[in-house]
């Protein structure tokens, strides 16, 4: 498969960028030509219709497609026997599974048939809560094949989090596993689902795939085994003549999936992506950022429970007819050489991981590399958080042996795919900088008033809040069930701009460096968590009166979670109370949101109007002792001293 839209040189990047800004409709229409449509955009159709006030964004509306025909069927002619997915199990002793495009087609058709048999229709929401097994990819694609909207929930979220998401999405179907392996752990996913479903009257069917053979409860009439259902579906398809489940015709703008992500207020919101724009963008950026060449083996270490896995394990690579390595385990089990084993074993060409994983592997030194052949690597990538220069250089020297360009890809759940990044070997890299925007992306740094930023920092870089001026094809379309929330969150801060929530610097060549969130969203080990969410969870503990949560720099995680808690309970000593609070957070959100530090305080620094001055709490958590800024507007300035002296 060739990619007519693949950028081959720096000059071409500049030309394509220019063209994409001057004539976006023409530009993306020509990219769209490389895809398989059931009905193309016709002459006279509006390629793009948008305004950021409602907001409304429509790309290729009226055109028809099914993303799975692009990810699978169109490759069957030439690539039927090529591996689409190489699955590496948690336990290196277990058998690797190689899923060819032909096999993927068969399995996805079976899933589609199975979903139909169980009453799933186009537009229904299907929640997927599984470990990293190939069946997770089949489930995602099976939903897309029949036009059901998948909502994948990361395996680390609690029953309560799942219940909230099921409710918000009005979901009626679940696909899960009995359990999942993660390193030395065996996580009982089905039992978490059972807890989430206590009192739930909407869920009609739960399909359970067997992975760990952990004992599970199977409720008659509601719970069915994946294996039985798939066999039945296989029989039906075999008897239908041609082994195929016809792909549902979807409008370009029909929703493809929901993915929940944290914001600065309230509960996580369901980011909605649509079929065509998302497909174009993930494929286009996959091919261009990583400079994917037919035959390359791509290894993205993310979990499909996050957007990175959706876009760069499943949809992007498969639509490009690529080979995607899917890894069930964790980087440090059974030892810290796990990634290098996989690179060696599967002759990986592109490795895409998170700075937090890099920092954690750095601490093991060079021993884990011994005897591992990394010479197949051509391109390295990072995503999820700013990468510190030390980690960047370690990645470059130890992993890439200074031969492999590193792409620092900045993007978000809401953006669907990479927006700012260098392109491997095409545009220059700069350690710690995401560098240049993709074609079609118009970043703008603004000051607090929404005016273009002009203020420079001490290094001469312009500093501001990162916005985007116009819609690229895979911008989020809405937040599920609450369009006003989408407007408020992303389009209301600055007029006519999409606000990312990130702060950034810009150098004289137009390169961007993302400095981190400027809102109350934390980035812990590359996972997004809202401070308000963690506070709500802590406050649910019976002994807690009030709490305030801030982030602080953490060597491995990027950011750690620091909680200040007012407690009036009577049970246990301080240590016990901390553990109880951690347990509560684990129950309410999941282990990923557990605070790293909990400081008990008698009050919080509040203004006379009752607002918590987080700036002060952030500074104390960061270890700043002197310049806490103006505290005169506080109701009780004395509390600051108490908190400062009690810092842990």
User: Candidates 44-52, 68-76, 513-521, 597-605 — which segment interacts with ligand PRX by CB under 6 A?
Assistant: 513-521
Write the CA distances from 176 to 94, 257, 572, 607, integer angstroms: 21, 17, 38, 47
**In three state form, how does the secondary structure of 258-289 look?**
EEEECCCCCCCEEEEEEHHHHHHHHHHHHHHH
Q: Closest distance between ligand PRX and the C-beta of residue 486, in Å?
A: 15
Using the rule CB under 6 A, is 151 a contact of ligand PRX?
A: no
In the region spanning residues 282 to 321, those forming contacts with ligand PRX, defined by CB under 6 A, are: 307-308
Spatial contact of 467 and 498, defined as CB atoms under 8 Å apart:
yes
User: Nearest approach, Cβ of 420 to ligand PRX (angstroms)?
Assistant: 8
Closer to ligand PRX by CB, 361 or 613: give it: 361
Query: What residues from 185 to 204 belong to the interface with ligand PRX (CB under 6 A)?
Result: none
d(CA 430, CA 508): 13
Rounded Cα distance, 451 and 229, in Å = 57
Q: How far apart are CA 580 and CA 560, in angstroms?
A: 19
Which of 275, 300, 434, 621 is in the footprint of ligand PRX by CB under 6 A?
A: 434
Name which of 29 and 434 has its Cβ closer to ligand PRX: 434
| Contacts of ligand PRX in 400-419 (CB under 6 A) | 408-413
In the block, which residue shows the tokens 């900088």? Answer: 433
- Please identify which residue in 110, 212, 261, 525 interacts with ligand PRX, judged by CB under 6 A: 261
Number of residues lying near ligand PRX (CB under 6 A):
22
- For ligand PRX, the closer of residues 524 and 613 by Cβ is 524
Of 145, 298, 430, 517, which lies in the binding site for ligand PRX, with binding defined by CB under 6 A? Answer: 517
Q: Token digits for 229?
A: 């259902």
Closer to ligand PRX by Cβ: residue 100 or 500: 500
Please identify, using beta-carbon distances, which residue of 62 and 516 lies nearer to ligand PRX. 516
Residue (of 267, 277, 273, 263) closest to 488 by Cα position: 263
User: Minimal distance in Å, beta carbon 517 to ligand PRX?
Assistant: 5
Closest approach of Cβ 338 to ligand PRX, in Å?
21
Cα dihedral across residues 6, 10, 12, 18: positive or negative: positive
Residue 384 sits in the site that holds ligand PRX (CB under 6 A): yes
E-only strand ranges, 43-200: 48-51, 56-59, 64-65, 83-88, 97-100, 125-129, 149-152, 173-177, 180-182, 185-187
- Residue 501 or 595 with smaller CB distance to ligand PRX: 501
**Least distance to ligand PRX from the beta carbon of 511, Å?**
13
In this complex, which beta carbon is closest to ligand PRX, that of residue 156 or of residue 368? 156
Of residues 307 and 548, the one with the C-beta less far from ligand PRX = 307
The distance in angstroms from the start CA to the end CA of the chain is: 57
**Which is nearer to ligand PRX, 24 or 309 (by Cβ)?**
309
| Residue at shortest CB range from ligand PRX | 413
Comparing CA positions, the residue from 384, 386, 385, 425 lying closest to residue 406 is 425
Q: How far apart are CA 548 and CA 606, in angstroms?
A: 11
Interface with ligand PRX, residue 337, by CB under 6 A? no
Contacts of 429 (CB under 8 A, 6+ apart): 405, 406, 407, 408, 422, 435
Q: d(Cα 10, Cα 3) in Å, to the nearest integer? A: 17
Q: Stretches 132-140, 212-220, 436-444, 495-503: which one binds ligand PRX (CB under 6 A)?
A: 495-503
Of the candidate residues 58, 248, 253, 385, the single one contacting ligand PRX (CB under 6 A): 385
Which residues would be at the binding site for ligand PRX (CB under 6 A)? Answer: 261, 307-308, 383-386, 408-413, 434, 500-502, 514, 516-517, 523, 528
């Amino acid at each position: 498969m060739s990619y007519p839209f693949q950028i081959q040189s720096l000059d071409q990047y500049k030309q394509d960028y220019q063209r994409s800004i001057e004539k976006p409709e023409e530009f993306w229409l020509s990219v769209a030509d490389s895809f398989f449509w059931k009905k193309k955009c016709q002459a006279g159709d509006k390629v793009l219709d948008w305004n950021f006030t409602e907001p409304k964004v429509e790309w290729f509306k009226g055109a028809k497609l099914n993303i799975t025909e692009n990810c699978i069927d169109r490759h069957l002619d030439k690539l039927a026997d090529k591996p689409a997915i190489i699955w590496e199990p948690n336990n290196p002793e277990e058998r690797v599974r190689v899923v060819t495009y032909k096999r993927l087609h068969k399995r996805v058709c079976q899933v589609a048939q199975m979903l139909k048999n169980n009453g799933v229709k186009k537009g229904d929401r299907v929640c997927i809560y599984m470990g990293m097994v190939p069946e997770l990819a089949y489930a995602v694609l099976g939903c897309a094949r029949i036009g059901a909207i998948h909502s994948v929930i990361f395996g680390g979220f609690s029953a309560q989090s799942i219940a909230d998401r099921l409710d918000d999405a009005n979901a009626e179907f679940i696909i899960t596993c009995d359990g999942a392996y993660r390193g030395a752990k065996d996580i009982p996913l089905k039992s978490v689902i059972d807890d989430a479903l206590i009192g739930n009257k909407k869920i009609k069917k739960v399909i359970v795939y067997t992975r760990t053979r952990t004992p599970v409860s199977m409720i008659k009439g509601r719970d069915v085994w994946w294996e039985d259902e798939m066999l039945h579906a296989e029989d039906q398809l075999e008897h239908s003549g041609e082994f195929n489940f016809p792909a549902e015709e979807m409008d370009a703008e029909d929703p493809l999936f929901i993915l929940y992500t944290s914001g600065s207020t309230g509960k996580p919101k369901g980011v909605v992506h649509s079929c065509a724009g998302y497909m174009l963008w993930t494929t286009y950026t996959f091919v261009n950022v990583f400079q994917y060449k037919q035959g390359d083996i791509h290894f993205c270490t993310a979990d499909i429970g996050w957007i990175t896995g959706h876009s760069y394990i499943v949809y992007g690579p498969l639509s490009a007819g690529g080979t995607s390595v899917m890894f069930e385990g964790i980087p440090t089990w059974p030892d810290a050489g796990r990634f290098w084993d996989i690179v060696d074993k599967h002759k990986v060409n592109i490795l895409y991981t998170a700075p937090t994983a890099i920092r954690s592997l750095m601490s093991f030194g060079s021993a884990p590399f011994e005897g591992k052949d990394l010479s197949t690597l051509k391109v390295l990538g990072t995503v999820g958080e700013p990468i510190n220069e030390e980690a960047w250089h370690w990645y470059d020297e130890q992993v890439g042996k200074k031969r492999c360009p590193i792409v620092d890809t900045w993007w978000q759940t809401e953006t669907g795919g990479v927006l700012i990044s260098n392109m491997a070997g095409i545009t220059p890299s700069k350690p710690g900088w995401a560098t240049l925007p993709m074609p079609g992306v118009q970043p703008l740094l603004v000051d607090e008033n929404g005016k273009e930023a002009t203020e420079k920092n001490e290094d001469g870089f312009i500093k501001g809040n990162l916005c985007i001026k116009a819609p690229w094809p895979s911008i989020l379309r809405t937040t599920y069930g609450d369009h006003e929330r989408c407007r408020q969150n992303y389009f209301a801060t600055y007029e006519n701009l999409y606000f990312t929530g990130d702060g950034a610097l810009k150098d004289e060549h137009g390169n961007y460096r993302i400095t981190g969130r400027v809102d109350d969203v934390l980035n812990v080990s590359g996972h997004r968590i809202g401070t308000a969410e963690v506070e709500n969870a802590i406050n649910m503990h019976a002994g807690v009166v009030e709490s305030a949560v801030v982030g602080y720099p953490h060597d491995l995680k990027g950011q750690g979670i620091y909680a200040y808690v007012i407690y009036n309970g009577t049970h246990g000593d301080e240590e016990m109370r901390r553990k109880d609070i951690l347990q509560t957070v684990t129950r309410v959100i999941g282990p990923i949101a557990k605070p790293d530090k909990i400081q008990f305080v008698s009050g919080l620094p509040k203004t006379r109007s009752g607002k918590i001055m987080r700036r002060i709490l952030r500074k104390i958590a960061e270890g700043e002792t002197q310049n806490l800024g103006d505290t005169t507007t506080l109701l009780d300035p004395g509390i600051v001293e108490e908190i400062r002296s009690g810092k842990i």
